[in-house]
Amino acid sequence: MKLKICITLGTRPEAIKLAPVIQKFRNDPDFSTFVVLTGQHKEMVAQVMEIFNLSADQNLEIMQPQQTLTDITYLTLQGLEKIYQQIKPDLVIVQGDTTTAFAASLAAFYQKIPIGHVEAGLRTDNIFNPYPEEANRRLISQITQLHFAPTTLAVENLQKSGVTGEIHLTGNTVIDALLTVANNEPICEIPNLNWEENRMYPPTLPCEGGKFRVLLTTIHRRENWGQPLQDILAGLKLILDKFPDVALLLPMHKNPTVREPIITHLGNHNRVFLTEPLDYIQLVGAIKKSYLLLTDSGGLQEEAPSLGKPVLVLRENTERPEAITAGTAKLIGTKAYSILNSASELLSDSQAYEKMANAINPFGDGTAAVKIVKIVKDYLKG
Ligand code: UD1
């Protein structure tokens, strides 16, 4: 009898970080693997599934415009109850700290199905920052049987949290995903993007021909909505004012709450590209082509160092201090002048730049998914 694994995911980062895990489980004849999408994200997950050539077995299609955390939680719980009852998985796999991951683990717990948690043990120790992710991952840890920790610090965090279940150090699956794309796929350079399709503003293409240093920026976090986002946008403008050779590439998240202020503040600037969300291949190409990254994304903090790019983190705290310790990322907050000063240093001081660009990636070596499959096999057959 094959072991039944159900891998549940809902958002783009979950899709990227679970893609290598899904591939490894599907290629292993001991397992029968079901992939269930909650549909928390639609277009942004579809892009990733296509790139990794993955199909889903079920889709709850819960997404609504301006969805609340309550909407996501109850629709996921309700939908997964039936699906888990039908499939009767031996183990459910969730990833990270989204509300999909939390609700999917709770749904499994209610049916006493063991849970494997990929990227377990990240902590900021402030349950409101990031919100709601810090609480989500803590809650998941309390009901998980197999914790797949990406780093030794994550292992220690789990030990300190007094969790039950087995803690395993696996590395982060994002490196597996990144290496697959970077090695096997043709990398799109920024000028080769399909601008007609992707870009919205402005009407000309200012960074063609390598004339400009490109800053790649992404912003989406809930705790940055409102004033912090205004401050970030003011900081980005200050950088553009000070450095006429800098262009900003800003792929916008689909969420209108972040998208509208961005368009209002930067939409008309002639060295700013606002684009639709880039697909993963384009994104990896954009990282390679950029000079440095300014972002509140966790995944980019893990990916950019593998490609030798410094990351300035637009947040007050981070659950990835490994990147800061290794010297590949710097936490700069959301205040306009702090953003200007930190970016200025890297744009003017080549030594400071090289130091960050050449630091070693602390997050993994691309073998996390293989380890996870083996651990699950030992656990279920043991
Ligand atoms: C979610 C996760 C966050 C993760 C982020 C990655 C939670 C609470 N938050 O935040 O941890 O870092 O995903 O992107 O789980 N939308 C679309 N199409 C899409 C995706 C989103 O139109 O494909 C729009 C919808 O209007 C939706 C809104 O974006 O209502 C917000 O999506 P939501 O999943 O609620 O929050 P994110 O900010 O994406």
Instruction: Split the chain (382 residues) into runs of 10 and give each run's mean pLDDT.
Output: 97 97 97 98 94 96 95 98 98 98 98 98 96 98 98 97 97 94 56 47 46 91 95 98 93 92 90 86 85 95 91 96 94 98 97 91 92 98 88
pLDDT of residue 369: 98
Q: State whether residue 57 is helix, strand or coil.
A: coil
- Cα(224) to ligand 1 centroid in Å equals 14
Q: Which amino acid is at 59?
A: N
Query: Pseudo-torsion of CA 40, 42, 47, 51, nearest 10°?
Result: 60
pLDDT of residue 210: 59
- Cα(5) to ligand 1 centroid in Å equals 26
- Cα(258) to ligand 1 centroid in Å equals 10
Q: Are 36 and 83 in contact (CB under 8 A)?
A: yes
pLDDT of residue 183: 67
pLDDT of residue 242: 98
Indicate whether residue 9 lines ligand 1 (CB < 6 A).
Answer: no
Write down how long the chain is. Answer: 382
Indicate whether residue 259 lines ligand 1 (CB < 6 A).
Answer: no
Ligand 1: which atom is nearest the Cα of residue 258?
38
pLDDT of residue 188: 45
pLDDT of residue 206: 45
Q: Which amino acid is at 6?
A: C
Indicate whether residue 377 lines ligand 1 (CB < 6 A).
Answer: no
Indicate whether residue 61 lines ligand 1 (CB < 6 A).
Answer: no
Ligand 1: which atom is nearest the Cα of residue 99?
15
Q: Which amino acid is at 189?
A: E
Cα 368 versus chain centre, distance: 16
Nearest CA to ligand 1 atom 32: 255
Indicate whether residue 66 lines ligand 1 (CB < 6 A).
Answer: yes
- Cα(112) to ligand 1 centroid in Å equals 28
pLDDT of residue 212: 84
Indicate whether residue 105 lines ligand 1 (CB < 6 A).
Answer: no
Instruction: Look at strands 3-9 and 246-251 and give their pairing.
Output: unpaired
Nearest CA to ligand 1 atom 28: 255
- Cα(269) to ligand 1 centroid in Å equals 26
Cα 278 versus chain centre, distance: 13
pLDDT of residue 190: 47
Phi-psi region of 308 (alpha: psi -120 to 50; beta: other; left: phi over 0): left
- Cα(198) to ligand 1 centroid in Å equals 19
Indicate whether residue 255 lines ligand 1 (CB < 6 A).
Answer: yes
Indicate whether residue 98 lines ligand 1 (CB < 6 A).
Answer: yes
Indicate whether residue 42 lines ligand 1 (CB < 6 A).
Answer: yes
- Cα(296) to ligand 1 centroid in Å equals 14
Nearest CA to ligand 1 atom 34: 40
pLDDT of residue 184: 59
pLDDT of residue 283: 87
CA distance 376 to 195: 43
Nearest CA to ligand 1 atom 15: 98
pLDDT of residue 269: 87
- Domain 3-171+367-381: CATH superfamily is Glycogen Phosphorylase B; (3.40.50.2000)
**Residues with catalytic roles:** 97, 119, 133, 220, 222, 253
Return residue ranges of the chain for CATH 3.40.50.2000.
Answer: 3-171+367-381, 191-357
CA distance 159 to 16: 27
The CATH number that domain 191-357 falls under is: 3.40.50.2000
Q: Which amino acid is at 52?
A: F
What stretches of the chain show up as alpha helix (H) in DSSP? Answer: 12-26, 43-51, 69-87, 99-110, 133-142, 152-160, 173-184, 195-198, 227-242, 256-266, 280-289, 298-303, 321-326, 336-348, 350-357, 368-381
